[in-house]
Amino acid sequence: MLKKLLGIAPKLESDGSYSPSKLALKLATVQKTDFEHISYPKYKGKKSKILVIFTEQKNLKMQNGKLFSTGNHPVEALLPMLHLKNAGFEFEIATPTGKPVVFEMWAFPEKDDHVKAIYNELKPHLEKPVKLQDFIDASFDTIDEYSSVFIPGGHGAMLGIPEDKNVGKILRWAHDNDLFTITLCHGPGSLLSTTLDNQKFLYEGYNMAVFPDSIDKKTPMIGYLPGQMPYGLSEKLKSLGANLVNTKSDKTVCVDRNLITGASPLASNELGKLAVKVLLKELN
């Protein structure tokens, strides 16, 4: 009751999950982003497609058994995509089984016209995405059409994605064919899929920016998460040989070989700019 009065109690949803408290929303979400509308030179080559892998799941179970109402973070997904779209790239939207993309709509920046515009433009594809297996069957042989794979963040990126063998296949396909992999915040959880079936971690020795476990551990105090995370993502990646370049939830971005990463939602704009800079330089 006291937590409710103070505005730090997570909000109970109709399906039994919890979304962030009023205080957490005030501290950790924005109504308008820091997106910079930049006039890029348009990419006109044949590798104009970017595969975007979204989660289709919503509820992440915490250590205490409570469910966090999550999904893909709209800012982390749509800000980088705005930059890439403005540079001439187009998107193939996919989820593991072809079910609709799930967003953390409580984090949607309602006063940001740029974000709303690309969301509405992509909505038909978000509602009817490609199934990952179908992408593998149809597109692995059309490698020349793709420049990169983008996996947005949001805690939902840790739902089903790290355990999906098709995600691992796609990341290895991208790596082996010199495509770029772009991800941020909790999205690097997808990289764990490369260890399935006792395979060696594909990104051992890579520098990367990832959302810090230390922040995840603190957020239940303000009612952002309804409990402690099932495991620490950054510690897991470090244990596999990744070199983490950030210690804060900030605007840090990083490029190491063909891996482009960002630290948090705050890095979404910077990640988009960096991805465009790298792609235009390497593909032209």
Chain centroid to CA 63: 22
Of 128, 18, 149, 152, the C-alpha closest to 75 is 152
- The pLDDT of residue 13 is above 70: yes
Span 177-195, mean pLDDT?
A: 98
Measured CA to CA in angstroms, residue 171 lies from 2, 83, 109 at distances of 46, 22, 30
Q: Which one of 1.10.3720.10, 3.40.50.880, 3.40.980.10, 3.30.70.1140 gives the CATH number of domain 47-59+75-283? A: 3.40.50.880
Query: In the chain, pLDDT over 70 holds for what percent of residues?
Result: 98
Give catalytic residues, as residue numbers: 185
Of 20, 17, 39, 36, the C-alpha closest to 28 is 20
Span 177-190, mean pLDDT?
A: 98
Average pLDDT, the chain: 96
- The pLDDT of residue 2 is above 50: no
Measured CA to CA in angstroms, residue 123 lies from 3, 16, 264 at distances of 36, 26, 24
pLDDT at 5: 52
pLDDT in tens, 103-147: 999 999 999 999 999 999 999 999 999 999 999 999 888 889 999
Query: 172: exposed, middle or buried (C-beta count within 10 Å: 0-12, 13-18, 19+)?
Result: middle
**In the chain, domain spans:** 47-59+75-283
Contact residues for 226 (Cβ-Cβ < 8 A; gap 6+): 10, 18, 62, 64, 66, 67, 68, 220
pLDDT in tens, 76-105: 999 999 999 999 999 999 999 999 999 999
Contact indicator for 267, 184 with CB cutoff of 8 Å: yes
Which residue, chain included where needed, has tokens 């470090």? 238
Contact indicator for 8, 16 with CB cutoff of 8 Å: no
Q: Which pairs count as long-range contacts for 261-264, CB under 8 Å and 24+ apart, including other chains?
A: 261/182, 261/183, 261/184, 261/188, 261/208, 261/209, 261/210, 262/76, 262/153, 262/183, 262/184, 262/185, 262/209, 263/184, 263/185, 263/209, 263/210, 263/211, 263/212, 264/153, 264/184, 264/185, 264/211
- The pLDDT of residue 199 is above 60: yes
- The pLDDT of residue 4 is above 80: no
